[in-house]
Amino acid sequence: MLNENDLAAWYQRLNFGEPTRAIIDQVRCSDPARRVGGGRSNVSVLPQPKDGRDYPISKSPCRG
């Protein structure tokens, strides 16, 4: 997420007016509209035969 200085520079570079800035600031400060995290549905367990442990892995291609 951008810090305050970077955000102000972005607003200025895109020539956003005050009403647009206020909406963006409100969205940035509000809670998510839906539950995030997903729980168990997006995590699998990868067995590791070398050490006998199981390691959770994410099915999402966006996570590292």
pLDDT at 10: 94
Backbone phi, then psi, for 58, in 5-degree steps?
A: -90, 140
- In the structure encoding, which two tokens stand for residue 53, read together? 């442990």
Q: What is the CA radius of gyration of the chain?
A: 20
Can you give the pLDDT of all 64 residues of the chain as single tens digits?
Answer: 788 899 999 999 999 999 999 999 998 888 877 776 655 555 565 566 666 665 555 554 544 3
CA distance 26 to 21: 9
Sort residue 7 into left (φ over 0), alpha (ψ -120 to 50) or beta: alpha
Contacts of 30 (CB under 8 A, 6+ apart): none
pLDDT at 2: 82
